[in-house]
Amino acid sequence: MFFWEEMKFNKGTFKEKFLFIAISIMALGQWADSKEMAEEAYVALVSNFTHKYEYESLNTINIGSNVEYISQIFGSPQLIKKSKYIDDISFAYYLHDKYILTLILKENRVTAYTISALEDDFMPNGLLNKTPSENKITVADNTKEMMDFTLDHNNVDFFLVREEQGKDKLFINQYFGALGYQNDINVTSAELRKLYDQVSLEEEGESIKAQALAISRKARNNFYGAGEVDLSVIADSVLTDFEYSFYFKQ
């Protein structure tokens, strides 16, 4: 290593040092190929210890995005389903080791999207403001006012809420929730079943709302979404336990 290269190396960032070493090792190959391989290796290394690149990729999605644009970043979805209730709505799923990205599509337009975290420390940036959302552990931590909620305990354990953002944000909805799969969401299936049965038997009243608020204050949030659709459509898009196990080969 020449002395000017050594000076640059000593002052460089970790990424620059990593790329310098990697490219030097692969110097016998083509420069462009070596640089691309080194950058891919760096991204893979960083992704083992942080979620930096996953968060940055997810930041590129917005309500109203064209699905073709998103495919340029994430590739083709691994799974597509039709809504059971609305004919012109479909769901496209991107299955990642750390998360499930679900696009709620009307034709080729994203009308809503959700991110289901599959690792305890995976907390994507705010879907509307694109800023970090750390230290918001429970569903209640993430919401100012719960407009409505839905839950299930049959096909998959989940507790989901909707929050309307108001006129200044074009009345866009945000969705938060706790989604079971194999994760501990700090709420038991029995607790969800009890509230589910009460909701099924009677009109929503103060007692039911109080129980829902109590669950929101303890349920560990691992579900994030934003969009223009009702909460029932969001619930329809959630993969069941069977589908999750089948597609993730659990």
Q: What is the pLDDT along the chain (250 residues), one digit of tens a residue?
A: 443 344 444 445 655 554 555 555 555 555 555 555 545 554 455 455 578 889 999 999 999 999 999 999 999 999 999 999 999 999 999 999 999 999 999 999 999 999 999 998 899 998 888 888 777 899 999 998 888 999 999 999 999 999 988 766 667 999 999 999 877 899 999 999 999 998 888 766 788 989 999 999 999 999 999 999 999 999 999 999 999 999 887 6
Q: If we measure between CA atoms, which residue out of 142, 130, 111, 125 comes closest to residue 219?
A: 142
Look up residue 210 and give its two tokens: 């109080």
Q: Where are the domains of the chain?
A: 3-49, 52-247
Which strands form 99-106's sheet, in the order they lie side by side? 79-82, 89-95, 99-106, 109-117, 223-227, 173-179, 158-164, 148-152
pLDDT of 144 reads 86
pLDDT of 51 reads 87
Q: If we measure between CA atoms, which residue out of 143, 108, 110 comes closest to residue 224?
A: 143
pLDDT of 5 reads 45
Look up residue 105 and give its two tokens: 């599509």
pLDDT of 196 reads 93
Query: Cα–Cα distance between 110 and 81 in angstroms, integer?
Result: 14
pLDDT of 6 reads 45
> What is this structure's pTM?
0.80
Sequence letter at residue 84: K
Tell me the DSSP string of the chain.
Answer: --HHHHHHHHHS-HHHHHHHHHHHHTTTS-HHHHHHHHHHHHHHHHHHH--HHHHHHHTT--TT-BHHHHHHHH-S-SEEEE-SS-TTEEEEEEE-SSEEEEEEEETTEEEEEEEEE-STT--PPPTTT----TT--BHHHH-SS--EEEEESSSS-EEEEEEE--GGGTT-EEEEEEE-TTS--SS-HHHHHHHHHHHHHS---HHHHHHHHHHHHHSBP-EEEEESS-HHHHHHHSPPHHHHHHHTT-
